[in-house]
């Protein structure tokens, strides 16, 4: 083999990275044609640099809004493109998800390994993301991968490890020459580099926790060793730099004491040395964190690798062959397909052992089970019927709650469920409507579940929730409906629902056309409803 | 505390939440490592027809595949899809659920997970391609199955093909159909729908279960039983 082809595959990694961006498939030409030739590629790499800058220099997160704002700030001036926020967000999304993340799929590049005469598959992944849960939902943040950092450094700076030592040496030399402005910039650079190393460790920890199998042992060892080396070298040099900065400060002080005046250039130098000292303190503090992170990384890696070892001997089946194709082949087994998903689903104890199911509509016991035909309805028709049914049920829920609250207010703020039932019995239409599908019983049980309805707090909560209504009782929807239509609700501060010892037995006669009448019996606890008025 | 009480406490949490995390219940997690506590839980496993497995720093309770007491029955699945769902809708939902698992965990490497996220529109494209193949090659399969069963694969593929891709707030579009099944998977803590419900990401729970349990060769027999396949085929990687 030719010597110059040694480690050729490592050189090709850079080519692979460029190829992954330049020779992409599935392009969105609607977006890309907005840009002049090569401009879009310039923009993609600018976004990569922005992510690096944002995560390193500010030691902060970078999300899609940050990237959109960055694009908004550069597109008009440098690309002569003026777009509104929505369109810019769309472009940011396209650059991140489609171009840089390849729609979530890893990108592979085949490089020739001349030493082994094989094709080495290089996985390309320039950015990684993290989902951060927040009070109002979630946020996805982006950072460069090691490969991303490595690539970007190589486009301008020399290899990062060498670079770090050189930066320190340069800083030392610059302070010696009293070039404080440049020295200050160098100290900022060192902070970036230490933070990057810390980020690397944090990211590897996260990767280990998420899935140990995605972690390369070499990657782990290299990171651990490079951190050791980095710290050893840094400590000595930083001590010297601090020492020199102090001496320079002393020198300035002595000059001042002798001449009794501090000209502008000395004042500026003094300020810059002060900043250098602050930065050095930051570097030392970041280094301490780095040591702790490294120890943590080793522990987590060893724990996780130990845990996962026992699973590593197990072979896996091909989900497409064993599951999907069999689903296609044995379609008649559909009634058993629930068994495919069953082991993944949460224990369904509430559904199966739920007291509410007693109050759900029951079928009549017949001597023989009738065959249920799988009839086909027109889709639109069945959808419409379902929608109408849900709307009708929700309308009844609103009426039940409205009825209950009004009755309570009119009955000196306290009433029993028994009295409510007696009252609705006086109007057969209302009784039939409220007891259909046992709606009034499920509603009172749900309200008892809630216990206390704090309307004052609810009214304070901001904004309306757009709800997809189902046939379940939805307290928020009912309250909004009542609030929109009636003023009395503003007089109510809280509503309490309490259970009593007494058991109520209620009978309902259902008359069916062309069928026997049905007598339904319900046994339910009595409840007390109490209203606390505003200013009570 | 005696081991039975600890075992019951662990089981109760597992029953309620489906999992017990070391971070949240570090004491109970450590107690679980005690073999006597595990013996108590073994009894629960046997009587309640479930599995209790520890994966890294989490203990999971998984109903046995045919456990309809703790598990999620066909009836529940149909209810979720809609009270008047047709058999073809039910099939499509199961199929899409398994197809999502396949797209995420169909990898042949040491880790089966092959992607970080998937856009719903990409999933629609992939399903379009899959059903297109079924429609094109399925003529003989259709005739064969049609005679035996009310629903056939080609008609389901056509049902999918005829759906409109996207229209706001419509449940019967391709997008709406996927969203419905995804919201069920989200409720079961298996996936997350992000970016205004445009993107699917798997949870740690699903990654754990798929990597260390669901796809294990030892489950081949029970999956074959679901399809009533007598001979055990070698479908492993």
In order, the DSSP letters of A253-319 are: HHHHHHHS---HHHHHHHHHHHHHHHHHHHHHHHHHHHHHHHHHHHHHHHHHHHHHHTTTT--BB-H
- Sign, CA dihedral B118-B122-B127-B132, equals negative
Q: Which pLDDT score, from 0 to 100, does residue B144 have?
A: 52
A432 falls in which pLDDT band (50, 70, 90)? Answer: confident
**Rounded Cα–Cα distance for residues B170 and B89 (Å):** 15
Q: What angle, rounded to 10 degrees, do the helices at A180-210 and A146-156 form?
A: 150
**Rounded Cα–Cα distance for residues B10 and B120 (Å):** 37
Q: Which pLDDT score, from 0 to 100, does residue B228 have?
A: 87
Q: Which pLDDT score, from 0 to 100, does residue A381 have?
A: 46
Contact A382 B76 (CB under 8 A): no
Contact B84 A386 (CB under 8 A): yes
Contact A106 B114 (CB under 8 A): yes
Mean pLDDT along residues B116-126: 92
Question: What are A120's two structure tokens?
Answer: 């080495």
Torsion of CA A209, A212, A216, A218, to 10 degrees: 70
Instruction: Give the residue from B55, B71, B96 with the most A CB atoms within 10 Å of its CB, the best one to mutate.
Output: B71
pTM of the model: 0.57
pLDDT: which is higher, A91 or A462: A91
Mean pLDDT along residues B157-163: 86
A370 falls in which pLDDT band (50, 70, 90)? Answer: very low
**Rounded Cα–Cα distance for residues B15 and B52 (Å):** 10
Q: Which pLDDT score, from 0 to 100, does residue B7 have?
A: 93
Burial of B175 (0-12, 13-18, 19+ CB in 10 A): buried
Q: Which pLDDT score, from 0 to 100, does residue A112 have?
A: 94
User: Mean of the per-residue pLDDT values for chain A?
Assistant: 77
The Cα angle at residue B234 between residues B233 and B237, in degrees rounded to 5:
145
Q: How far is B61 from chain A (nearest CA, A)?
A: 7
Contact B215 A336 (CB under 8 A): no
Residue A238 has pLDDT above 80, yes or no: no
Q: Which of B65, B91, B207 sits opposite A334 (nearest CB)?
A: B91
Q: Which pLDDT score, from 0 to 100, does residue B72 have?
A: 74
Residues of B in contact with A336 (CB under 8 A): 74, 226-227
pLDDT in tens, B59-79: 999 999 888 777 777 777 777
Q: Which pLDDT score, from 0 to 100, does residue A363 have?
A: 45
- The complex scores an ipTM of 0.90
Residue of A nearest to B50 (CA): A343
Q: Which pLDDT score, from 0 to 100, does residue A353 have?
A: 53
Q: Among A243-257, B55-69, B200-214, name the one with the lowest average pLDDT.
A: A243-257
Q: Among A145-159, A522-536, B43-57, B101-115, name the one with the lowest average pLDDT.
A: A145-159
Mean pLDDT along residues A9-30: 88
Q: Which pLDDT score, from 0 to 100, does residue A277 have?
A: 78
> Could you tell me which residues come within 8 angstroms of residue A16 by beta carbon, excluding any fewer than 6 positions away?
A107, A109, A111, A122, A124
Q: What angle, rounded to 10 degrees, do the helices at B153-162 and B120-137 form?
A: 140
pLDDT in tens, A287-339: 777 776 666 676 666 666 665 555 555 678 899 999 999 999 888 888 889 89
Beta carbons of A504 and A417 less than 8 angstroms apart: yes
Domain positions in chain B are: 3-63, 74-235
Helix/strand/coil percent split, chain A, to 5: 65, 15, 20
Mean pLDDT along residues A139-152: 85
Contact A340 B94 (CB under 8 A): yes
- Please state, for a pLDDT cut of 90, what percent of chain A lies above it: 20
**Rounded Cα–Cα distance for residues A124 and A53 (Å):** 21
Q: SS3 for A179?
A: coil
Q: Which pLDDT score, from 0 to 100, does residue A368 have?
A: 36
pLDDT: which is higher, A381 or A224: A224
> Could you tell me which residues come within 8 angstroms of residue B118 by beta carbon, excluding any fewer than 6 positions away?
A103, A104, B100, B103, B104, B199, B200
Q: Among A173-182, A287-296, B36-45, B99-108, name the one with the lowest average pLDDT.
A: A173-182
E strands present in chain B: 19-21, 50-55, 58-63, 117-119, 191-194, 199-202
Beta carbons of A131 and A138 less than 8 angstroms apart: yes
pLDDT in tens, A32-87: 999 988 999 999 999 999 998 887 665 578 999 999 999 999 999 999 999 999 99
The second-level CATH assignment, the architecture, of B3-63 is Orthogonal Bundle (1.10)
């Amino acid at each position: 083999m030719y010597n110059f082809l040694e480690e050729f595959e490592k050189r090709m990694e850079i080519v692979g990275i460029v190829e992954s961006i330049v020779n992409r498939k599935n392009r969105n030409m609607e977006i890309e044609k907005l840009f002049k030739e090569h401009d879009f590629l310039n923009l993609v790499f600018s976004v990569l640099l922005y992510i690096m800058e944002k995560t390193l220099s500010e030691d902060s997160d970078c999300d899609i809004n940050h990237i959109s704002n960055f694009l908004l700030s550069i597109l008009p001036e440098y690309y002569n493109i003026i777009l509104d926020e929505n369109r810019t967000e769309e472009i940011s999304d396209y650059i991140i998800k489609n171009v840089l993340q390849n729609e979530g799929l890893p990108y592979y590049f085949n490089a020739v390994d001349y030493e082994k005469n094989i094709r080495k598959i290089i996985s390309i992944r320039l950015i990684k993301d993290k989902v951060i849960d927040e009070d109002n939902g979630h946020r996805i943040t982006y950072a460069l991968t090691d490969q991303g950092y490595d690539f970007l450094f190589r486009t301008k700076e020399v290899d990062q490890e060498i670079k770090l030592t050189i930066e320190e040496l340069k800083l030392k030399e610059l302070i010696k020459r009293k070039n404080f402005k440049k020295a200050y910039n160098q100290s900022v650079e060192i902070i970036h580099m230490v933070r990057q190393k810390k980020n690397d460790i944090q990211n590897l920890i996260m990767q280990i926790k998420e899935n140990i199998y995605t972690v390369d042992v070499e990657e782990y060892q290299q990171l651990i060793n490079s951190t050791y080396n980095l710290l050893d070298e840094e400590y000595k040099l930083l001590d010297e730099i601090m020492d020199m900065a102090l001496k320079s400060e002393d020198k300035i002080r002595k000059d001042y004491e002798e001449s009794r005046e501090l000209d502008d250039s000395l004042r500026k130098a003094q300020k810059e040395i002060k900043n250098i000292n602050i930065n050095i303190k930051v570097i030392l503090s970041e280094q301490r964190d780095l040591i702790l992170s490294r120890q943590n990384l080793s522990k987590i890696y060893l724990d996780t690798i130990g845990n996962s070892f026992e699973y590593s001997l197990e072979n896996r089946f091909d989900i497409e062959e064993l599951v999907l194709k069999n689903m296609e082949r044995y379609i008649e087994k559909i009634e058993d397909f629930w068994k495919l998903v069953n082991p993944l689903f949460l224990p369904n104890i509430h559904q199966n052992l739920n007291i509410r199911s007693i109050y759900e509509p029951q079928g009549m016991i017949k001597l023989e089970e009738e065959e249920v035909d799988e009839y086909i309805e027109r889709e639109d028709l069945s959808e419409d019927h379902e929608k109408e049914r849900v709307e009708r049920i929700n309308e009844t829920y609103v009426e039940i709650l409205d009825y209950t609250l009004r009755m309570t207010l009119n009955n000196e703020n306290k009433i029993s469920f028994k009295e409510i039932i007696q009252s609705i019995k006086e109007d057969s239409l209302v009784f039939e409507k409220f007891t259909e599908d046992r709606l009034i019983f499920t509603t009172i049980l749900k309200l008892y579940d809630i216990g206390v309805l704090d309307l004052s707090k609810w009214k304070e909560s901001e904004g309306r929730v757009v709800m997809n209504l189902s046939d379940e009782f939805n307290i928020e929807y009912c309250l909004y409906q009542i609030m929109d239509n009636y003023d009395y609700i503003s007089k109510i501060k809280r509503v309490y629902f309490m259970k009593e010892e007494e058991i109520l037995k209620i009978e309902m006669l259902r008359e069916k056309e062309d069928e026997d009448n049905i007598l339904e019996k319900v046994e339910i606890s009595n409840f007390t409803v109490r209203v606390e008025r505003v200013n009570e | 505390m005696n081991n039975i009480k600890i075992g019951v406490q662990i089981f109760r949490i597992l029953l309620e939440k489906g999992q017990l995390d070391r971070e949240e219940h570090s004491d109970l997690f450590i107690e679980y490592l005690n073999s006597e506590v595990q013996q108590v839980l073994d009894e629960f496993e046997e009587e309640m027809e479930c599995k209790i497995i520890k994966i890294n720093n989490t203990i999971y309770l998984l109903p046995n595949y045919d456990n309809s007491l703790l598990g999620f029955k066909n009836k529940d699945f149909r209810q979720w899809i809609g009270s008047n769902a047709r058999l073809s809708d039910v099939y499509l939902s199961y199929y899409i659920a398994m197809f999502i698992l396949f797209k995420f965990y169909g990898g042949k490497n040491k880790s089966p997970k092959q992607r970080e996220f998937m856009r719903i529109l990409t999933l629609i494209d992939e399903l379009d391609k899959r059903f297109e193949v079924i429609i094109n090659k399925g003529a003989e399969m259709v005739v064969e199955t049609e005679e035996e069963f009310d629903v056939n694969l080609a008609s389901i593929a056509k049902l999918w093909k005829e759906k409109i891709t996207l229209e706001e707030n419509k449940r019967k579009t391709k997008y709406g159909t996927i969203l419905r099944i995804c919201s069920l998977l989200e409720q079961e803590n298996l996936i997350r729908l992000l970016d205004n419900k445009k993107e699917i990401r798997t949870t740690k729970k699903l990654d754990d279960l798929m990597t260390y349990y669901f796809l294990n060769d030892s489950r081949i027999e029970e999956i074959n039983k679901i399809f009533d396949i007598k001979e055990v085929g070698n479908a492993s990687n």
